[in-house]
Amino acid sequence: MEKLNILLVCGSGASSSFMAVNMRNAAAKMGLDVTIKARSESEIESYIDEIDVLMVGPHLAYILEDIKEYVGDSDVKAILMKPEYYAVLDGEKAVKHMLEAVNS
């Protein structure tokens, strides 16, 4: 797999920052070449041209339609994170979910 650039978004960027650290650690243990950044949802448009995967906090499900418009016909894969791993900031489960979505 080539290097993946991943953007995590939540409301303010705080919880996604913790998740990004945990995902980076999990990805490193899995030997994956990824860059994972965390930002607030208001910054999505600024990063959309630089990323391969957009992972959205489960509490932002209501903005998924807007996100699909930002993504447009690009190759960015938008993924709604699952509450069961997001709530406990389980980076390993988040990385596995991302890989399943990207490879499907």
What domains can you pick out in the chain, each with its CATH number? 4-103 (3.40.50.2300)
pLDDT reported for residue 28: 97
Cα(42)–Cα(100) distance, rounded to whole angstroms?
26
| Strand extents, DSSP E, 1-104 | 4-10, 34-40, 53-56, 77-80
pLDDT reported for residue 1: 61
pLDDT reported for residue 11: 77
Mean pLDDT per block of 10 residues along the chain (104 residues) reads: 89 83 97 95 89 94 84 89 95 97 91
pLDDT reported for residue 13: 62
30 CB contacts (<8 Å, ≥6 apart)?
Answer: 95
Query: Going edge to edge, which strands form the sheet with 53-56?
Result: 34-40, 4-10, 53-56, 77-80
